[in-house]
């Protein structure tokens, strides 16, 4: 029996009725654009952006990895070890990373709050299991950084998916991964810090410190600062403290939208967090402290900030509590005083040479001749007892 021939006239008519207006103005351009490709790359050919605001790994591991002192597998092994130490100290040891995932049968049991390292690892393991079960739904976007014969791609968006895929490859028992990852290639001239920012805010939210770094990167970009391809320290981001949106009004709306649609006041508050000390920035980022808690810490001296953040973490202080503590410390801080005037110093030195009997006689005669109140006597005695300190001021 001959195969029935399909009548395609209805399909042809339907396709003919589709107009450019129905498809949108950019449809033809999108079809003609051959610069965007989707490919599967070896994981070893892909590297995270070292300046990306989100630090997936702890700071010390992040730096060693981007300094090429650790491979991806070694970096994750150090994260696993940190998480294991913390978990063991809190009575929940694990040997398999899958044990970090929530157990439905024991979800009501109180096991205590996880450490930042446990939370980070658990988040990556959960994402890895999702990729294993459902496939990689969203490819990474990468910028071609190939030089010579060595092919290399820098991640624009998808840093967490990258690390989750390494977890899936090397740390999930019983799963054979092919070592490949899906990527969309973005030409270097079309890469965008704004697309990266939108991705960061649209998926897993950034910490307040990461938001500060994101604000800095956007400002530095529109002010034509060069964004390096290597790991940077906090001083790089702090350059943005001298910049603002007033001189680049044409970018204001785009920047605020890339930051998640925040207003200019909140943008400025995030940026101001870069004024915290280095160790304070690291600890606040590690424990994901919010901006309202941290804005008050900026009011106290650098040498007190780290201790204050330690107290926030230890006692889980609210923003209002931090505000009250920092306000009290700020108000009670000793005012900067100028050295005593020369005649005051000479007077204090002369008092230093007095015997106890001479001092009492002087105070007695002073009070009688001037008819001063007794509290003035006390003040002078205090001056006398501290004359050594003032004499050397």
Tell me the CATH number at 121. Answer: 3.90.1530.10
Do the beta carbons of residue 39 and residue 153 sit within 8 Å?
no
Q: CB count, 10 Å around CB of 161?
A: 22
Last residue of a domain, which of 169, 191, 213?
191
Is residue 63 a part of any domain in this protein?
yes
User: Of 156, 217, 165, nearest to 187 (Cα)?
Assistant: 156
* Band (202; pLDDT cuts 50, 70, 90): confident
Task: Check residue 187 and give its pLDDT.
Answer: 85
What's 182's DSSP letter?
E
Look at 370 and 365; give whichever has higher pLDDT.
Answer: 365
Identify the domain boundary among 172, 191, 210: 191
203 lies in a domain?
no
Residue 198 is predicted with a pLDDT of 87
Q: Which of these ranges, 28-37, 65-74, 278-287, 296-305, has the smallest mean pLDDT?
A: 28-37
pLDDT of residue 9: 45
pLDDT for residue 2 is more than 60: no
The total domain count for the chain is 2
Q: Is residue 91 part of a domain?
A: yes
pLDDT at 102: 82
Query: Could you tell me the residue range of the domain that residue 349 belongs to?
Result: 342-391
pLDDT of 332 reads 59
Sheet strand arrangement including 37-42: 37-42, 180-186, 140-144, 153-157, 46-47
Task: Find the mean pLDDT for residues 375-382.
Answer: 47
Between CA 180 and CA 243 the distance in angstroms is: 41
Tell whether 361 is covered by a domain: yes
Residue 135 vs residues 128, 138, 175, 202, 257: alpha-carbon distances, Å: 10, 9, 13, 20, 30
In a domain, 263, yes or no: no
Question: In the chain, pLDDT over 90 holds for what percent of residues?
Answer: 58
**Length of the chain (residues):** 393
Instruction: Tell me if residue 317 falls in helix, strand or coil.
Output: coil
CA distance 29 to 9: 28
Contact 184, 141 (CB under 8 A): yes
Cα 384 from Cα 352, distance rounded (Å): 7
What whole-number distance in Å separates Cα of residue 280 and Cα of residue 277? 5
Overall pTM > 0.85? no
Whether residue 195 contacts residue 157, with contact meaning beta carbons closer than 8 Å, is answered with yes
DSSP H or E stretch at residue 41:
strand 37-42
Look at residue 147 and tell me if it is in a domain: yes
* Residue 308 near residue 246, CB atoms below 8 Å: no
- Among the candidates 191, 217, 239, a domain finishes at 191
Residue 332 neighbours by CB under 8 Å, 6+ apart? none
For the CA atoms of 215, 230, 120, 73, what is the dihedral angle to 10 degrees? 160
Q: Is residue 266 part of a domain?
A: no
Q: Tens digit of pLDDT for each residue in 107-160? A: 544 456 899 999 999 999 999 999 999 999 899 999 998 887 888 999 999 999
Task: Please report, for residues 14, 78, 184, the alpha-carbon distance to residue 86 in angstroms, rounded to integers and kept in the order given.
Answer: 63, 12, 37
Could you tell me which of 358, 344, 335 has the C-alpha nearest to residue 390?
344
CA distance 316 to 290: 12
Comparing 388 with 51, the larger pLDDT belongs to 51
Which pLDDT value is given to residue 129? 96
For the stretch 254-309, pLDDT in tens is: 999 999 999 999 999 999 999 999 999 999 999 999 999 999 999 999 999 999 99
pLDDT tens digits for range 233-250 = 999 999 999 999 888 899
Looking at residue 352, what is its pLDDT?
A: 60
Does 269 map to a domain? no
């Amino acid at each position: 029996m001959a195969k029935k021939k399909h009548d395609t006239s209805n399909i042809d008519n339907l396709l003919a009725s589709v107009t450019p207006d129905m498809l949108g103005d950019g449809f033809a351009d999108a079809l003609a654009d051959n610069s965007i490709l989707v490919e599967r790359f070896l994981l070893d050919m892909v590297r995270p952006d070292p300046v990306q605001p989100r630090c997936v790994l702890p700071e010390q591991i992040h730096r060693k990895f981007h300094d090429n002192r650790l491979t991806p597998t070694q970096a994750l092994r150090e994260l696993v070890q940190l998480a294991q130490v913390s978990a063991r100290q809190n009575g929940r040891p694990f040997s398999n990373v899958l044990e970090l995932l929530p157990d439905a049968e024991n979800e009501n049991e109180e096991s205590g709050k996880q450490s930042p390292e446990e939370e980070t690892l658990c988040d990556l393991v959960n994402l890895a299991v999702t990729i294993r079960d459902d496939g990689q739904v969203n490819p990474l976007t990468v910028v071609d950084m190939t030089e010579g014969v060595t092919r290399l791609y820098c991640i624009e968006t998808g840093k967490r998916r990258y690390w989750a895929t390494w977890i899936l490859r090397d740390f999930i028992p019983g799963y054979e991964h092919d070592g490949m990852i899906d990527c969309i290639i973005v030409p270097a001239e079309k890469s965008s810090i704004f697309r990266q920012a939108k991705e960061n805010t649209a998926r897993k939210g950034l910490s307040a410190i990461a938001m500060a770094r994101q604000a800095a990167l956007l400002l530095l970009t529109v002010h034509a600062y060069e964004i390096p391809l290597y790991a940077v320290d906090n001083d790089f981001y702090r350059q943005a403290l001298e910049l603002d949106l007033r001189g680049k009004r044409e970018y204001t709306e785009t920047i605020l939208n890339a930051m998640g649609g925040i207003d200019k006041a909140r943008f400025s508050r995030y940026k101001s967090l870069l004024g915290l000390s280095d160790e304070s920035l690291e600890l606040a980022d590690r424990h994901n402290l919010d901006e309202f808690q941290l804005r008050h810490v900026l009011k106290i001296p650098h040498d007190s900030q780290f201790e204050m953040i330690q107290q926030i973490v230890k006692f889980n202080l609210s923003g209002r509590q931090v505000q009250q503590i920092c306000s009290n410390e700020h108000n009670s801080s000793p005012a900067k005083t100028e050295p005593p005037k020369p005649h005051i110093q000479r007077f204090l030195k002369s008092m230093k040479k007095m015997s106890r009997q001479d001092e009492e006689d002087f105070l007695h005669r002073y009070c009688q001749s001037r008819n001063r109140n007794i509290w003035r006597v006390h003040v002078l005695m205090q001056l006398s007892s501290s004359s050594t300190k003032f004499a050397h001021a």
